[in-house]
Amino acid sequence: MSCGSHATSSAFSVLVRRRWGALPSHLLRPGRWRSRGPCVLRKSDHAAHPLWKDPASLPGGTRQSPINIRWRDSVYDPRLQPLRVSYDAAACLHAWNTGYLFQVELDDSSDRSGISGGPLENHYRLRQFHFHWGAANEWGSEHTVDEHVYPAELHLVHWNAVKYRDYQEAATGERGLAVIGVFLKLGARHEALQELLEVLPDIKHKDARVPVRPFQPSCLLPACRDYWTYPGSLTTPPLSESVTWIIYKKPIEVAQDQLAAFRSLLFSALGEKEEAMVNNYRPLQPLMDREVRSSFQAPEDGPGP
Ligand SMILES: [Zn+2]
């Protein structure tokens, strides 16, 4: 434990452990106030979720995720090539309510779906993609940009199929994983995302899983492919520090009812007391001795996100 935010969330999780199920939701608000722009409270009652009850889920690592990306502190690296993305729509297998988030799993038995180039030395296969979101539009993303919080964030999780035999081995290995992060902002309706959202009523409860029709994940990427990259970790236990993060600068737009569809899912299983699946993001972690590199040159004035 080397930082104050760890201590705070640890103390909070003890509180929640004692009060789980009895604490009114308006009291579950230990999130940080933002000092810039409109004050935004990130409602961090994620600690109440059983996923975070194991003490091992609060490690004192040196390269944890997510982080706040400070635009002006990121370093343009002209050696960073464009990321090459090639996904096979037919590789999508299932949509799954994991009890913490909503995830689509892919067939990763071959190299047909994956990424290379950019900051990566090898080809990485797409294993799954999932989303994190808030209870309201003012919070929900895991990463932030100049302390700006988006309502949701998409993660496409890839593993290094050159160095490792399978996802499990890669997940704890050096340069094992590469995760693309895409911010979702409120705006126009996203037609491709809507295809996925149609299955959500079928996976409302924890552990529900349904087959999905072929879906092209690259439809969820922004048109502008500028990105930041930094070395980090998984943002759910086991929080392995094996991830090369690639965060696209530009968000994609989604409509209000599409965010509402995420929030209609449940943390709870069939027959349990209903708990809305919201605020399934991890709090920000300290940057420590890390550099965030950008594939693009920051304009003088720094337009912000
Ligand atoms: Zn994630």
* Amino acid at position 277, single letter: M
Instruction: Round to whole Å and give the CA distance between 121 and 129.
Output: 21
Please tell me the distance between residue 126's alpha carbon and the centre of ligand 1 in angstroms. 14
Sign for the CA dihedral angle at 85, 244, 305, 236 comes to positive
The pLDDT assigned to 39 comes to 39
DSSP 44-67: -GGGGSGGG-SGGGS---SS-S--
Please tell me the distance between residue 300's alpha carbon and the centre of ligand 1 in angstroms. 32
Please tell me the distance between residue 235's alpha carbon and the centre of ligand 1 in angstroms. 6
Please tell me the distance between residue 95's alpha carbon and the centre of ligand 1 in angstroms. 15
User: What count of residues does the chain have?
Assistant: 305
Structure tokens belonging to residue 128: 């799954």
Please tell me the distance between residue 157's alpha carbon and the centre of ligand 1 in angstroms. 8
8 A C-beta contact, residue 235 and residue 147: no
- Per-residue pLDDT of 138-173, as tens digits, reads 999 999 999 999 999 999 999 999 999 999 999 999
For the chain, which domains are there? 4-294 (3.10.200.10)
pTM (predicted TM-score):
0.85
Instruction: Round to whole Å and give the CA distance between 151 and 283.
Output: 14
* Amino acid at position 76, single letter: Y
Residues with CB under 5 A from ligand 1 (ion): 155
8 A C-beta contact, residue 84 and residue 113: no
Please tell me the distance between residue 130's alpha carbon and the centre of ligand 1 in angstroms. 6
Please tell me the distance between residue 231's alpha carbon and the centre of ligand 1 in angstroms. 15
Please tell me the distance between residue 301's alpha carbon and the centre of ligand 1 in angstroms. 31
The pLDDT assigned to 52 comes to 82
Please tell me the distance between residue 120's alpha carbon and the centre of ligand 1 in angstroms. 19
Instruction: Round to whole Å and give the CA distance between 27 and 18.
Output: 14
Please tell me the distance between residue 239's alpha carbon and the centre of ligand 1 in angstroms. 11
Please tell me the distance between residue 49's alpha carbon and the centre of ligand 1 in angstroms. 15
- SS3 of 34, please? coil
The pLDDT assigned to 298 comes to 74
Please tell me the distance between residue 66's alpha carbon and the centre of ligand 1 in angstroms. 9
The pLDDT assigned to 44 comes to 52
Structure tokens belonging to residue 75: 């370093």
Give the number of other CB atoms < 10 A from CB of residue 291. 12
Query: In the chain, which stretches have pLDDT less than 50?
Result: 1-41, 305
Please tell me the distance between residue 299's alpha carbon and the centre of ligand 1 in angstroms. 29
